Amino acid sequence: MGEINPAFIQDPEHRPKLSIIEADGIPLIDLSPVNSADNSSDPKALEKLVREIGNACKDWGFFQVINHGVQLDTLGKTEAAARKFFDLPSEEKRRIWRDEKSVLGYYDTEHTKNVRDWKEVFDFTVEEPMLMPVSADPEDNEEIEWTNQWPEQLPELRVLCDEYAREVEKLALKLLGLIALSLGLPENRFNSYFKDQTSFIRLNHYPPCPSPQLALGVGRHKDSGALTVLSQDDVGGLEVKRKADGEWIPVKPTSNAYIINVGDILQVWSNDRYESVEHRAVVNAEKERFSIPFFVNPAHYTVVTPMEELTDEQNPAKYKPYNWGKFLSHRKLTNFKKHSAENIQVSHFRVEE
């Protein structure tokens, strides 16, 4: 990937701290109560599970799940195919380079103006084609279809990724149901928002970095969607900003576990009961790292606003409504065009007290 850009070294805001507090880490939750073979579960076990998830969302914004129901064979084959893809020659991967017209596909930070992230990625949408607004202009109602790009040299990648997407989608909807219950809402409260979902999956590859103390795999950020379901290998590198004291906590890899984090949309839906938390990925001098996040996003026409069941005169809505498709379109297009204004954030819709 080349040398570290000097411009990054001078940016202490994004540079990793030299000391990271070790901790037991984010909560580890067993989903066995909702994955029994006969589809029955002990009411008390389910109640305990919902409480654990609610506490994790409130206290951390992150948790890990085991016994999640995703076929490990499916995950293993997808991970192997991802490694084959990233092993392809650079010129082959760049045949499906993402740009303003084709926002899905491959990119690496070595060939972009991004000086902070040390990685290469491949994005594909779960539903294809995916309908999106042409622009972030509120007055423009024209729609466009986003379609995936796949490498010709690796036809099995598409098949395996499609199969994997269906598996993880089931887990994501199950988790959204449990989160709804933890908020005192009906289990299916969020389901209708995902009929025409704009969810996408990213294959991440973080090559060994010659100066890991000066770079990050991905800088500090919050996820703008509803929920993220992440698989990471045993190298590790994900760090979460602990709400209690603002310290960066490494998420130690747990065998056969998924890492789940609350996104900005769930923060708004819950009216700040649950918070989207900053996280980042550090790099390794000797080992490459792979991860596969599934970004769970609603339909583009979704108007994101606090749940009416969670607001009243004593607890008024803390956010103004915003259109998810316009929001996402703006965020995606800033990957290819430099804007004079600050990138749009969910905080821009917060109601001033």
Domain ranges of the chain: 6-129+146-303
State the pTM of this model. 0.90
pLDDT at position 61 = 97
In this prediction, residues 16-24 reach a mean pLDDT of 38
pLDDT in tens, 152-174: 999 999 999 999 999 999 999 99
Banded pLDDT at 112 (limits 50, 70, 90): low
In this prediction, residues 320-328 reach a mean pLDDT of 95
Judge if the upstream peptide bond of residue 212 is cis by omega within 30 degrees of 0: no
pLDDT at 33 exceeding the cut of 50: yes
pLDDT at position 213 = 82
Fold of the domain spanning 6-129+146-303: Jelly Rolls (2.60.120)
**Do residues 133 and 140 make contact, with C-beta atoms less than 8 angstroms apart?**
yes
Banded pLDDT at 175 (limits 50, 70, 90): very high
pLDDT at position 5 = 44
Q: Give dist(CA 23, CA 244) in Å, integer.
A: 13
The residue to which tokens 């607004």 are assigned: 133
pLDDT at 210 exceeding the cut of 60: yes
Backbone phi, psi, residue 333, to 5°: -65, -25
The residue to which tokens 């540079």 are assigned: 15
Q: Among 2-11, 242-251, 282-291, 344-353, name the one with the lowest average pLDDT.
A: 2-11
pLDDT at 4 exceeding the cut of 70: no
Q: Give dist(CA 282, CA 289) in Å, integer.
A: 10
Q: Of 50, 335, 311, 313, nearest to 182 (Cα)?
A: 50
Banded pLDDT at 19 (limits 50, 70, 90): very low
Banded pLDDT at 3 (limits 50, 70, 90): very low
Q: Categorise residue 341: left if φ over 0, alpha if ψ from -120 to 50, beta otherwise.
A: beta
Backbone phi, psi, residue 233, to 5°: -80, -170
pLDDT at position 214 = 81
pLDDT at 246 exceeding the cut of 50: yes
pLDDT top residue among 216 and 231: 231
Q: Of 150, 159, 147, nearest to 80 (Cα)?
A: 159
Q: Where are the alpha helices (DSSP H) in 233-316?
A: 264-269
Banded pLDDT at 35 (limits 50, 70, 90): confident
pLDDT at position 338 = 55
In this prediction, residues 124-136 reach a mean pLDDT of 90
pLDDT at position 116 = 64
Banded pLDDT at 20 (limits 50, 70, 90): very low
pLDDT at position 344 = 79
Banded pLDDT at 21 (limits 50, 70, 90): very low
pLDDT at position 100 = 81
pLDDT at 81 exceeding the cut of 80: yes
pLDDT at position 18 = 31
Q: Give dist(CA 132, CA 146) in Å, integer.
A: 7
Q: Which residues of 126-256 form beta strands (DSSP E)?
A: 130-133, 143-146, 200-206, 218-221, 227-232, 238-241, 248-250
Q: Among 11-20, 58-67, 197-206, 301-310, name the one with the lowest average pLDDT.
A: 11-20
Host H or E run for residue 51: helix 43-59
In this prediction, residues 85-113 reach a mean pLDDT of 88
Strand, coil or helix: 283: coil
Banded pLDDT at 1 (limits 50, 70, 90): low
In this prediction, residues 131-155 reach a mean pLDDT of 89
